[in-house]
Structure 1
Amino acid sequence: MSDTAIRRDAPQGAATNAALGHFDKAFKAQTSAGLTELRQHGFDLFAAHGLPSIREEAWKYTDVRAIGKANFALASSLHSANLDDSQLDINAYRLVFVDGVFDAERSSLDGLPEGVTLSPLSQRDELPQQFGSQLAANAGPFTALNQAFAGEGVYLDVARNVELNKPVYVLFASTAGDQQWMSHPRVLVSLADNASATLVEHFVGEEGAANFTNLVTEGTLARGARFDHYKLNEASDQDLHVANLKVEQRGDSLFKQHNLTLGGSLVRNDIDTELNGEGAQTEYHGLFFVKGRGHVDNHTVVNHNVARTFSNENYKGILNDRARGVFNGRVYIKQDAQQVRGYQNNANLLLSDRAEVDTKPELEIYADDVLCSHGASTGQLDEDAVFALRARGIADEHARALLTLAFAGEVLESTAIAAVAQRVERRVAGMLPDRFDLEGLVDISA
């Protein structure tokens, strides 16, 4: 996985050793459901590395020691949570997890079409064969840790030529309390030839929740398959969140990924796509809004392993207060992968003089017949544009808010689910310095 490979000679300081001891205690206390070997393999890989250090290139901007310091526990029963205002209004197949535990009462899987298998992993007799297929000897520490606590998550399998008629909506809720919880869900998606599906992963948290979510999503797209993946993070301002997504694509498949981060104290997203068939296409659409002392780190990798493949990536960051954002995007074009097109762009908007962003777009090309570009920019609002709006009778704070929303809007234009786009627009408006009220000023119903 792309959360950086295990290095068995990695230095392990006091914080890392403490984290290993904590996770080892939780690991040994977890009951086994025939998963002993699988879990042990994952934990051994994690123990060989421990938590990544800022001395490692892939983690030099992101300090994860807070994950090792907290005393997280695994929830063994379903916790109560008020989710009425959190859930998106989507006509979808629905799975709900609270602190990592499946909530059957709030979930709805009725009416699945023939050829579609959808279930929580905990309700399967055994884990699908696909589980762990992406976890090789060079897996990253958080992916390995996820396997060490394997057993819960989502399995979606769509048969050949089947189009899933509604999105799959997976809600992960984090609750507040005296105990800090951790969860390690695994989401497995397998689409056969010419199959199509849309998946929405939505993360929410109660005020004051300070839990740790360590997500791994694996996708396999056969020839001609289409997969639209949405990840909307509205976690609590104190939640810790690490997510790894890896998708393997065959010929003529299409993968669209929408990564929308609006919450969390410490967030790390690793996204990795392997283009292994001619005609395969990948699109990354990312937006992150960070405020307070929040930290969001997005690492993306697109590997063009064969000829005539296409990728396009557009990430935008909005940062306020003393927040920090990180974007590291890498496009790799293998030798002899000719006639490839790969585009990448990262633009960042700073609303505060104390906000900070580190951006590193990368192209690594070993073929000569390609069309590729990358770029990055960081700045503040254009004062001439602010003045132009004020000259038309719009108040200064409204002018700045509208320009900020327009900056985010380019990413949201790719969002085909209206409820997702509207939630993001309203959240962005509410997170602006003057808590801009979007309602009544602009029409977002279209």
Structure 2
Amino acid sequence: MNIDARSHYLTDFARVVDLLPGAGVPWLARVRKSALDQFAQRGFPTRKDEDWKYTSVAALEKMNFRVEPDGRAHTGANPLMDRFALASDIGHVLVFHNGRFAPWLSAIGKLPDGARLVSLADALEAAPEALEPYLASEEPQSAFGALNGAFMADGAYLHLKRGTVLEAPVHLLFLSTEPGFANHVRNVIVAEEGAQATVIEHYAGIDGATYFNNVVTRIFAAGNAAIEHHKLQQEGSGAFHVAGIHAVQQRDSRLESHSISFGAALARNDITTAFDGNGCEVTLNGLYLVGGTQHVDHHTRIDHRQPNGTSREHYRGVLEGQSHAVFNGKVIVQPGAQKTNAYQANHNLLLSRDAEVDTKPELEIYADDVKCNHGATVGQLDEAQLFYLRSRGIDEAVARSLLVHAFAHDVIERIRVASLRTRLEQILLARLPQEERIGEL
């Protein structure tokens, strides 16, 4: 990391630290200062770092994005709302404009007793002590996670008390319209014993604008809790999107994570979970569809720390142009985590000779009574399948589109939120040639 970039973020922190939500809370001030120190010591990663071997952040480092400490001044309509809103099966909508909560654009429905859904900034101002267990005990984190910890200003805070079931999905919509801005978003999802919820975390921005969304989402699932989490990344073509989704699961909890990445010039998603109790389950599904010179990177880590855990991971990618994708999926089975059942697969479809994929599924097994397997493929369209469709009178462009659609749909059909699944189908069809003909077939 160059000294100018390091100095920029240190100087920017000094400028805004007293204006950030909860600035007068002693424990939060210590958390922010500790995170800033970590960032200052480590700096941005380089390709010498194993986890960043195939992803360069040099372009992001040179931009010197600035923080807007209070985005609430930008009230009024947002030109992106109609384009990115979902349908009526969404029960609660929280909209964030340039990283700050926009209540005039949001609509929180009736919440059951035991559910609290607010912006992080409001929670830090009203009752910061409730957030201390979830913000003050950070595990070692990446440079971007540390930067987020120093500058975190807003995001969503969902807390479900014991046995609380949130029937309708929550849509967290983050809209970016200002070039040159950095939005350090922090989301916290807490599900106590037996609680259940579905959350859609959605990022979008003005096409062509250069901005930086640096996001951390923490999920805490207590015993028998069930969280279904969806991440839809539709950033503008000039955006940088770096995010971490980090979960901790207790006994018999269930987590589903669906990560869909379509936008941004550079996108990085780190998705991790740790089984801290017996009988945990996790499913990680992912789809990335990129073209041009886009770069998308998914790093996942499933840490089986306790016995009788089950993990399933299905990631698929479709690449065009000169795009580049990276997938690194690590499954760790710790000593004593007997009866672990883990499956991992990453499949990639290259539609251009200039597209590139680096895929690395990994298993680290330190227990002997387990069932674990993984696999990865990188290839082009199946010529035999293409020939079959052509022999039935389907022209080549439509035949190729049908095969690509079927390949990507394997991930989309796993999503149970109807409006989100429909939206993803629309995006997929819009990215394929001859979509009019596909709809007729």
Q: Pick the TM interval, shorter chain.
A: over 0.9
Counterpart-to-counterpart distance in 1, 2:439 and 2:344 = 35
- SS of the equivalent of 1:184 reads strand
Counterpart-to-counterpart distance in 2, 1:56 and 1:348 = 24
1:25 equivalent in structure 2:
11
Counterpart-to-counterpart distance in 2, 1:384 and 1:287 = 24
Counterpart-to-counterpart distance in 1, 2:280 and 2:86 = 31
Out of 165, 172, 175, the residue aligned to residue 174 of structure 2 is 172
| Counterpart check, 1:355 vs 2:355 | yes
2:213 equivalent in structure 1:
213
| Counterpart check, 1:72 vs 2:70 | no
Counterpart-to-counterpart distance in 2, 1:286 and 1:416 = 14
Q: Is the 8 A contact 1:134 1:246 kept in 2?
A: no
Q: How big is each residue's C-alpha offset from its partner over 1:31-80, in whole Å with a ceiling of 9 and x where there is no partner?
A: 24224322211111111100001111000101012222113122333445
1:9 equivalent in structure 2:
none
Q: Amino acid of the residue matched to residue 246 of structure 2?
A: K
Counterpart-to-counterpart distance in 1, 2:54 and 2:152 = 29
Q: Is the 8 A contact 1:429 1:438 kept in 2?
A: no
Counterpart-to-counterpart distance in 2, 1:382 and 1:103 = 47
Q: Amino acid of the residue matched to residue 248 of structure 1?
A: V
Counterpart-to-counterpart distance in 1, 2:29 and 2:169 = 33
Bigger mean CA offset, 149-158 vs 316-325: 149-158
Q: Is the 8 A contact 2:46 2:52 kept in 1?
A: yes
Q: Amino acid of the residue matched to residue 292 of structure 1?
A: G
Shift of 1:92: 2.0
Shift of 1:276: 1.4
Higher helix share: 2
Bigger mean CA offset, 144-153 vs 124-133: 124-133
1:46 equivalent in structure 2:
39
1:254 equivalent in structure 2:
254
Counterpart-to-counterpart distance in 1, 2:112 and 2:127 = 23
| Counterpart check, 1:381 vs 2:378 | no
Q: Is the 8 A contact 1:430 1:437 kept in 2?
A: no
Bigger mean CA offset, 416-425 vs 155-164: 416-425
Q: Is the 8 A contact 2:31 2:136 kept in 1?
A: no
- SS of the equivalent of 2:71 reads coil
Q: Is the 8 A contact 2:67 2:182 kept in 1?
A: yes
Counterpart-to-counterpart distance in 1, 2:317 and 2:113 = 41
Counterpart-to-counterpart distance in 2, 1:77 and 1:377 = 44
2:268 equivalent in structure 1:
268
Shift of 1:102: 1.1
Shift of 1:346: 0.4
Q: Amino acid of the residue matched to residue 155 of structure 1?
A: Y
Counterpart-to-counterpart distance in 2, 1:295 and 1:174 = 19
Counterpart-to-counterpart distance in 1, 2:217 and 2:363 = 25
Structural RMSD (CA): 1.5
- SS of the equivalent of 2:44 reads coil
Bigger mean CA offset, 167-176 vs 344-353: 167-176
Shift of 1:440: 3.4
Counterpart-to-counterpart distance in 1, 2:173 and 2:345 = 30
Counterpart-to-counterpart distance in 1, 2:340 and 2:265 = 38
Q: Is the 8 A contact 1:239 1:266 kept in 2?
A: yes
Q: How big is each residue's C-alpha offset from its partner over 1:330-359, in whole Å with a ceiling of 9 and x where there is no partner?
A: 000001211110100000000000000000
Q: Is the 8 A contact 1:130 1:188 kept in 2?
A: no
2:82 equivalent in structure 1:
84
Q: Amino acid of the residue matched to residue 88 of structure 1?
A: L
Counterpart-to-counterpart distance in 2, 1:77 and 1:326 = 33
Counterpart-to-counterpart distance in 1, 2:274 and 2:371 = 18
Q: How big is each residue's C-alpha offset from its partner over 1:172-202, in whole Å with a ceiling of 9 and x where there is no partner?
A: 11115xx411111111011111110011001
Counterpart-to-counterpart distance in 2, 1:423 and 1:153 = 23
1:115 equivalent in structure 2:
114
Stretches of 4+ aligned residues off by more than 6 angstroms:
none
Counterpart-to-counterpart distance in 1, 2:137 and 2:316 = 28
Counterpart-to-counterpart distance in 1, 2:209 and 2:137 = 31
Change (3 A) 1:400 1:439: closer
Q: Amino acid of the residue matched to residue 164 of structure 2?
A: V
Q: Is the 8 A contact 2:71 2:99 kept in 1?
A: no
Q: How big is each residue's C-alpha offset from its partner over 1:352-381, in whole Å with a ceiling of 9 and x where there is no partner?
A: 000000000000000111000000000000
- SS of the equivalent of 1:146 reads helix
Counterpart-to-counterpart distance in 1, 2:231 and 2:368 = 35
Shift of 1:435: 6.1
Q: Amino acid of the residue matched to residue 431 of structure 2?
A: M
Change (3 A) 1:134 1:358: farther
Q: How does 1:89-168 map to 2 (within 5 A)?
A: 89=87, 90-124=89-123, 125-127=126-128, 128-133=131-136, 135-136=138-139, 138-168=140-170
Q: How many residues align?
A: 424
Q: How big is each residue's C-alpha offset from its partner over 1:218-240, in whole Å with a ceiling of 9 and x where there is no partner?
A: 11111100000000011111110
Counterpart-to-counterpart distance in 2, 1:437 and 1:380 = 23
Out of 18, 26, 29, the residue aligned to residue 36 of structure 1 is 29
Q: Amino acid of the residue matched to residue 243 of structure 1?
A: A
Bigger mean CA offset, 165-174 vs 29-38: 29-38
Counterpart-to-counterpart distance in 2, 1:406 and 1:380 = 14
| Counterpart check, 1:332 vs 2:332 | yes
Q: Amino acid of the residue matched to residue 344 of structure 2?
A: Q
2:49 equivalent in structure 1:
56
Q: How does 1:213-362 map to 2 (within 5 A)?
A: 213-362=213-362
Shift of 1:439: 7.1
- SS of the equivalent of 1:440 reads helix
